[in-house]
Amino acid sequence: MKKSGLLKTLAAAALIGISSGLAGCLTVDDSKKSTLMEKDGDYSGAVVFTYTNERFLAEEIEALCDTGNSTEASYFYVPQWHKEQADIYNAKFKMDLTCFKNQIKIPKEFIAPAGTFHPANLEEISGYLRETYLKLNDYDFLAINHVFPVEYYREGESSVYYALPNSRAFILGTIKLEDGIGISYVLPRRSSFAHEFDHLLEATDKKEDGKGCKKNPETEELYEPDDIMCARQKDENGNWLDIYRLEELRITPPTAYEIGWIRE
């Protein structure tokens, strides 16, 4: 369905809100090692599609799961992008993705209310999926795509994209937008997939809410805006916007260090 002008604006605003509200920024006990970190550069991921009420449209799933990587949306560029980045650091990296296109209904009690963020909720959802669909246990991580209703859109904060550093799953939300004219969906971005995956490898957020990048406490310099964990650029009015295109982003040395690609 075509987006109306209003929906396009809303969609752009929502994406900014979602990305700047990335809530995968919790501090975790340093003594805990990510399960993924023990995988030593070889990861298998299951891309799953979940819903409580409204489902994804089939063509959206096809776009995200296009193994030919011929669409701008396809997640299958994420493994290639990571490999290219890893090669710069002579680090080992391999990611195999499998899309499970059948949509899975998640009981609504697993989904946190709009405007709230419950870290445990992600573990509950991924636990439910792995217990219910045992074949998902074969995968190192789950990329859970979920359709959220418009109430989940909050400017500047959102619980819709999130990962926990000591986890084996992350959520990529689609937001369903409705106005008097029609319905449209804000599809998850593959740059968000890469960002949330890097959280699983213990990369930290390098963006400031509503601003540019944070300061690196070791060097006192700002993190670079095209790092996957900052991904910010200024528009012509001087406002900070997210960089969405994964092609424009990279893994800079501070992030490479966090995910173990640079060792001392």
Residues of this chain that bind Zn ion (CB under 5 A): 22, 24, 205
Shortest distance, CB of residue 86 to Zn ion, whole angstroms? 20
Strand partners, 240: 234
**Integer CA distances (angstroms), 141 to 42, 47, 50, 168, 238, in order:** 11, 9, 15, 5, 38
Q: Which is nearer to Zn ion, 205 or 242 (CB)?
A: 205
Work out how close the CB of 101 gets to Zn ion at its nearest, in angstroms, rounded to a whole number: 27
Query: What is the CA 9 to chain-centroid distance, rounded?
Result: 21
Nearer residue to Zn ion within complex by CB, 66 or 123: 123
Cα separation, 244 vs 95, whole angstroms: 21
Give least dist CB 195 to Zn ion, A: 6
SS3 content of the chain, % helix, strand, coil (to 5): 30, 20, 45
Q: By C-beta, is 39 or 214 nearer to Zn ion? A: 214
In the complex, minimum distance from the CB of residue 209 to Zn ion, in angstroms, rounded to a whole number: 11
The answer to whether the beta carbons of residues 22 and 205 sit under 8 Å apart is: yes
Tell me which residue has its CB nearest to Zn ion: 22
Which residue number, 22 or 177, has a Cβ lying nearer to Zn ion?
22
